[in-house]
A and B are shown apart, each in its own frame.
Chain A
Amino acid sequence: MFKPRPKQAEVLEYTGGKMGVSAVPGSGKTATLSYLAAKLVATVPLDDEQEILIVTLVKSAVGNFAKSMANFLKEEFNLLPGLGYRVRTLHGLANDIVRERPGLVGLDDSFTVLDERAADNIIQEAVESWVRANPNAPDHYLSNEHYSDHFTRSTRWADTVKNMTTNFIRQAKDMQLPAGELQNMVLDSKRSLPLAEMCAEIYEQYERALRYRGAVDFQDLIRLALRVLRLDPHYLARLQHRWTYILEDEAQDSSKLQEDILKLLAGEKGNWVRVGDPNQAIYETFTTANPKYLLDFMQEKDVQAKTLPNSGRSTASIINLANQLITWSLAHPNPEIREKQPLSLPWIEPTPKDDPQGNPPDNPAMVHLRPEKFTAQEERDTIIKSLQRWLSDNPDKTCAVLLPINSSGAKMVQELRRMNLPYVENLRSTSGTRAVVGALLYVLDTLKDPKDSAALATAYRVWRRDERGDEEAERSIENIAKEIRKLTQVEDYIYPRLHDWLEEKAGDSGELYTHLAEFRTLVRRWQEAADLPIDQLMLTISADLFQLDTEIATAYSVALYLRRFAELHPEAQLPEYSEELQAIARGQRKFTGVSDEDDAFDPEQHKGKVTVTTMHKAKGLEWDRVYLMSANNYDYPSADPFDNFIGERWFIRDSLNLEAEALAQLDSLYTEKPYSEGQATQQARIEYASERLRLLYVGITRAKRELIITWNSGRRGEQVEAKPIAALRGWWQKEHPHP
């Protein structure tokens, strides 16, 4: 039975109209919203074609929400789940909208949506050809000491242009500016805006390439959805009728386009509930996402504004620490940041007395802000040591290591594996997806060079990967793999003619013989399939390799993905496919297939193990013990003069952040306001620092009982402790003089 707290009950009284809810971390916002959705499904008389629409931010939240709703519908309302509502990300919703009427915006039925990786490739090509054609373009921007450096001019410059263009195009699309129109604006404008000019040309090339392929990118999908709704009022009216209620989760990360789309769908007097926490807005850098949309919405006069201030998640000490971060931020030493109010009230309040999900008992000794200046390796070692002790004492508790970026997560994972500590990954590409892709990749490698015994040995290990963990099996796998690797003539095993390696090696051992003969049959089958179209080859291999449903589904979407890739690149062969798979495996792009990514990550399923996760992916989740790593001024800068900013490249003159400058030029072009070089760079520092402050807040509020914060001095040993963390540590020591 769901027993709402008094503030939650207020939200649940909702029956119609507009409502905005500002919620603190741990306030049960998703539970409340999904309960509300379930209640609406149960109580509002819906026609067959009508639904409650729920919009969330990321794919994993869809799974989370759907599960929670299904539960409520079954348990509390005795209804069949799956009917009368639809849970979507914004992309999913846009896809629904456009797919129904693609012709309205000049799309063919079979239009494809390129995922990030494919779009990225196209931008890369466009950038490379542009850079080649404009060898003098970097003159104006390189610093003196890098001006004549060949490597900088050819490679680093191209990378910079690419980052810049990627953001530029995204922003232009958000502003609904087609490439052609933008080009005209550039031509008409008499001002010198070289970055905008550059990006607009590449944008045009990029769009041309998309059209040629009959494809749109993610950004287009959303832009086009809005256009469809504006173009055809009848269709809009039909959708308004279909989605009588719209519930929006994580509304603090809503973009302008998202707000516009939902506003249209809800209509003038529509039913629209927006829930979010402005302090947890962490998707804003170089996007149009902004918590102000939610805050402004809550100020509108026909909107019922509610709060969910009570959190039962953390101990009083951790809540106090998070609240202190708000206090510090409100008085931020940098006046520009202070004025922006990155973190704002309300405070997090503990639950009222006798709450069934009350806060855990307080224990200030379980909060550690470590003062040491570690190297990155020392930091990892320290945490590994701490984990070794803690995990063996706490097999029934949950625990996570939170990192600011993906790549450091991968290093941590390596370390954990080396030390034999149990872990799960919640990084960008989940290990499940990665394992599937990796397995396919290894098999593809043996097909790429079928006479390579090392590749064959690896494929063998892939085939038996599920047996890993069993010591005896592992020994046998290693021994056999070693034998295969030693093979100088692979054909003597796979297709014996004069010599039969298998007969010689294992002729006497029945079991081993059968086993290796079985593997040989597989390899032969794969080789025979090697010149089939790539999707069929992938399906053939995966039928032999995978048993789990999610694995099979992932492999299926890999097959489809490569098929699409093949259609875009008719000349592609095994090496190109293999490269694509490597890119997926390295997590260089979000692989949007069917995979366990769609299932919500549930820390409770991983007791006694360490979860390794990025801060972004940790949103909405909680653990008993949390390690916050890398709290230095690189990952959490405060716009101080000595801070290094990711976007400011050392070979660019005057520490200009070209990505920010290009966007400023775009804005200037659009609004016809004057552009002044350097301002945007400074502004970007403020914004980035603000967002990272909120990220820190998100990190701290993931902890239920125990929190450890550490920092390291970075790659060159130049970084210092992040300013907010130093301040928190000072405050903490004063509050708790004898830890």
Chain B
Amino acid sequence: MRLLKDQQRVAKEHFDTTIFLEGIAGTGKTTAAIERVKQLIRSGVATDSILVLVPQAALAIPYREALRRSRVATGGDIHTATIGSLAYQMVDLFFPLIADDIGFENPLDRPHFLSLELVQYYMTRFVEPEIEAHDYFNSVTISRSRLYTQIVDNLNKAALVRFDPQTIAERLKSAWRGDVEQGYIYDDAQISANLFREMCVRNNMLDFSLQVTLFVEFLWKLEQPRRYLMQQYKHLIVDNIEEDTPATHDILRDWLPHCESALLIYDSESGYRRFLGADPVDAYQLKKLCQTHIKLTKHRVMSSDIQAFQSEMARSLNQPAPKSPKNSDAREAIVYADNRYHPQMIDWAAENIASLVHSEGVNPAEIVVLAPYLPDALRFALQTRLNEHSVPNRSHRPSRALREEPAARTLLTLAKIAHPQWNIPASKYDIAYALTASIAQFDLVRARLLVDIVYRNRQLHPFEQISNEKVQERITFDLGNRYEQLRQWVDAYIQDEPLPLDAFFSKLFGEILSQPSFGFHDRYEAANTAANLIDSARRFRQTVNKIEPHLDTSPEYVAMVDKGVIANLYIRDWQLEKRDSVLIAPAYTFLLSNQPVEYQFWLNVGSSGWAQRVNQPLTHPYVLSRQWTEGRRWEDADEVAVNQETLANLALGLIRRCRKKVYLGFSEFGEQGYEQRGTLLMAVHSMLRRLRREEEHV
């Protein structure tokens, strides 16, 4: 695509200036920025002196890919970072400089960086007993894992918004209107956060919030680390600053006067990561620190009908409505379907997608299916139907519990049998599944027949011990032999000193499962899951053993997986695999990937999830933000205003990332069987009514 005049200006503006670039989604800001990076490199700027800073890692992908594709001779990859990865990198380098000052108990030791899973694990081990003992949170209805997430979330907000983490409860309470009891909940959240923080400091453990705090509040204020960063990166490209947090903005405030050039990109009418601390208002204030201001206004994505839909929708959402282009018709840009039941809506979507792909020749990659939330059942139902219609599809699932992966469950079941000392029994169902998965062509009928006989007292017994020859025949000697190989391997393992869990998995995988005529042989996905499991178990062991050298981490790890705490986080480069396929994703995930498409399917249009902010009883993204006036109370009017803004930004943001048509899918009864009547539906209805009236009028 050729760059428009304004975009070219972005690319070619002096290389010693700081630019503030703004515009709504779809005006080509990132495209222009990528072009500027190329120009910088062409002009002789060293690749590794350019830093692309983004609020989340995936947003840097377009930069890396574009540069890889282009013919610009780069001396290596440009560096991309988020505030989190910068903090990690800096703390890792400079920890000894500050450890003493901030009271770490062992300032000379290396710090331990905690993943989200490990945070949950330590919460369970150290904070949970305190919560139980004092009966904290006894008036709040929330599952344990979300409870921990929100406690940690408060610490993260304190770090990213830069307020004293001791004031969390005070801030939340001052804005609270409602039950007195809620005040106690905030106090409990404060106590738990303090407990967790103390535990971290005592053990040199760094969760995300501590990493950011150490970087922003300490390292950045020291001459040496600061000079290190500023000298390494002379040219800054900061995309989606509206999705970033005050911590990032403050760093930029200091950095901008010292860099050679900078390009700050601001997406108007966004701010989708508010619940993660994003602060668009704070971001916009960076404008006045920049020497050059450019605004892109020409829309490069939407067809004229889609533009008309955008303005009609804006009207229905009480937003300033841009004028529709001449000869455009909003109705041409939408398809609205009214179904009674949820599964009918899923069918409707699948059929329409199939028809687009097969009859109209649309590239599947140009289609996305979106919903405010994407529960597994919906994802699965959609994928099954699309597969039936032979439509390639992919789903972005950042994580799912490892225990839900059959391959992982197989490995864990075998681990339980191979480690009787853990005392974690495996059921005969699990063992039968494990056999069908680990031995090629082992069917469930024969597996059950075998397991019912040979699995006794938590042990697998030899095939030849089956006294009834007829039964041996039924199972077949071929399968029996392979069962024996597996069993003898397990038996031999039990006789030896136990290995660390990850080593056990590797050995089992390498010596048995991946061999010809066993289940993981030539099965890429299973092998991939096994690799993830091994990685995950290893990291767990390494980190935990550094902190507690004598703890046997294996049964701990298995218990965590069984509880569903450990997730399969490694979806390796989901964007790269199965490129030409329909994407199924939560609406926000799609928005934040910043990749426009031709066709969008919005499912569950009646759901209130389109408008409602994520509600978390222990925390509050707005009250804990920099924009909140101290002492103000959070009222219903605030809630309504936020919901309206959320919906408008979301709906209009999606439309601006659509080239041709939006399919709106609605079912009278939601998936839980409740009648649906969300704000988006009301807006769609009022728009349809208005369009109908206008048509009648004409």
A contacts, CB < 8 Å to B: 48-49, 62, 80, 82-83, 86-88, 92, 95-96, 99-111, 178, 180, 208, 210-216, 227, 231-232, 234-235, 237-238, 447, 449-451, 489-491, 494-495, 497-498, 524, 527-528, 530-533, 535-536, 539-540, 543, 549-550, 552-553, 556-557, 559-560, 563, 570, 573-574, 592-594, 598
Given contacts A107-B617, A540-B384, A550-B341, whether A556 and B671 have CB atoms under 8 Å apart is: yes
What B residues does A489 contact at CB under 8 A? Answer: 474
- Do A536 and B444 touch across chains, with their CB atoms under 8 A apart? no
Instruction: Please indicate which of the listed interface residues A178, A557, A563, A573 has the most CB atoms of chain B within 10 Å of its own CB.
Output: A557
Query: In the complex, A128→B515 CA distance in Å?
Result: 51
- Do B342 and A556 touch across chains, with their CB atoms under 8 A apart? yes
Report the 9 A-B pairs with minimum CB-CB distance, sorted nearest first: A234-B636, A553-B341, A214-B143, A495-B443, A235-B636, A531-B433, A108-B142, A109-B615, A106-B140
What B residues does A594 contact at CB under 8 A? Answer: 341-342, 669, 673
8 sampled A-B residue pairs with Cβ under 8 A: A48-B316, A83-B689, A101-B615, A101-B636, A450-B445, A495-B443, A531-B429, A552-B343
Which of these binds chain A: B194-202, B373-381, B542-550?
B373-381
Query: In the complex, A506→B673 CA distance in Å?
Result: 45
Query: In the complex, A110→B146 CA distance in Å?
Result: 9
CB-CB nearest in chain A for B318 = A48
- Do A560 and B377 touch across chains, with their CB atoms under 8 A apart? yes
Query: In the complex, A517→B473 CA distance in Å?
Result: 24
- Do B608 and A99 touch across chains, with their CB atoms under 8 A apart? yes
What A residues does B181 contact at CB under 8 A? Answer: 106
- Do A104 and B178 touch across chains, with their CB atoms under 8 A apart? yes
Query: In the complex, A559→B406 CA distance in Å?
Result: 19
CB-CB nearest in chain B for A491 = B445
Tell me the minimal C-beta distance from A477 to chain B in angstroms.
23
| B635 contacts chain A at the CB level, 8 A cutoff | yes
| B58 contacts chain A at the CB level, 8 A cutoff | no
| B321 contacts chain A at the CB level, 8 A cutoff | no
Q: Chain B: interface secondary structure?
A: helix
Tell me the minimal C-beta distance from B8 to chain A in angstroms.
44
| B685 contacts chain A at the CB level, 8 A cutoff | yes
Residue-wise, chain B 669-698 has the 8 Å CB interface mask toward A (1 for contact) of 101111101000010011001000000000
- Do B138 and A557 touch across chains, with their CB atoms under 8 A apart? no
- Do A238 and B616 touch across chains, with their CB atoms under 8 A apart? no
Tell me the minimal C-beta distance from B615 to chain A in angstroms.
4
What A residues does B93 contact at CB under 8 A? Answer: none
Query: In the complex, A212→B682 CA distance in Å?
Result: 35
Q: 8 Å CB contacts to A: which residues of B559-607?
A: 562-564
Instruction: Please indicate which of the listed interface residues A86, A103, A489, A593 has the most CB atoms of chain B within 10 Å of its own CB.
Output: A103
Query: In the complex, A227→B139 CA distance in Å?
Result: 14
B contacts, CB < 8 Å to A: 137-144, 146, 177-179, 181-182, 185, 316, 338, 340-344, 375-377, 380-381, 384, 404, 406, 409, 427, 429-430, 433, 437, 443-446, 448-449, 473-474, 476, 562-564, 608, 612, 614-617, 620, 635-637, 639-640, 669, 671-675, 677, 682, 685-686, 689
What B residues does A550 contact at CB under 8 A? Answer: 341
- Do A111 and B141 touch across chains, with their CB atoms under 8 A apart? yes
- Do B672 and A106 touch across chains, with their CB atoms under 8 A apart? no
Given contacts A108-B142, A111-B142, whether A231 and B177 have CB atoms under 8 Å apart is: yes
Query: In the complex, A92→B677 CA distance in Å?
Result: 11
Number of A-B contacts (CB under 8 A): 194
- Do B144 and A539 touch across chains, with their CB atoms under 8 A apart? no
Given contacts A491-B446, A552-B343, A573-B429, whether A92 and B674 have CB atoms under 8 Å apart is: yes
What A residues does B430 contact at CB under 8 A? Answer: 531, 573
- Do A235 and B140 touch across chains, with their CB atoms under 8 A apart? no
What A residues does B380 contact at CB under 8 A? Answer: 535-536, 539
Query: In the complex, A278→B186 CA distance in Å?
Result: 47
- Do B616 and A103 touch across chains, with their CB atoms under 8 A apart? yes
What A residues does B675 contact at CB under 8 A? Answer: 62, 86-88, 92
Given contacts A214-B146, A560-B377, whether A497 and B614 have CB atoms under 8 Å apart is: no
Given contacts A106-B185, A214-B142, A570-B563, whether A535 and B377 have CB atoms under 8 Å apart is: yes
Tell me the minimal C-beta distance from A214 to chain B in angstroms.
4
- Do B677 and A86 touch across chains, with their CB atoms under 8 A apart? yes
Given contacts A92-B675, A212-B144, A234-B636, whether A108 and B615 have CB atoms under 8 Å apart is: yes
Given contacts A215-B141, A495-B446, whether A48 and B686 have CB atoms under 8 Å apart is: yes
Query: In the complex, A497→B474 CA distance in Å?
Result: 9
Known: A232-B636, A495-B443. 7 other contacts (CB 8 A): A106-B140, A107-B140, A107-B615, A108-B617, A109-B615, A212-B143, A237-B636
Query: In the complex, A532→B377 CA distance in Å?
Result: 12
What B residues does A210 contact at CB under 8 A? Answer: 141
What B residues does A539 contact at CB under 8 A? Answer: 377, 380-381, 384
Query: In the complex, A97→B677 CA distance in Å?
Result: 12
- Do B448 and A549 touch across chains, with their CB atoms under 8 A apart? no
What A residues does B179 contact at CB under 8 A? Answer: 104-106, 227, 231
What B residues does A88 contact at CB under 8 A? Answer: 675
Query: In the complex, A557→B636 CA distance in Å?
Result: 33
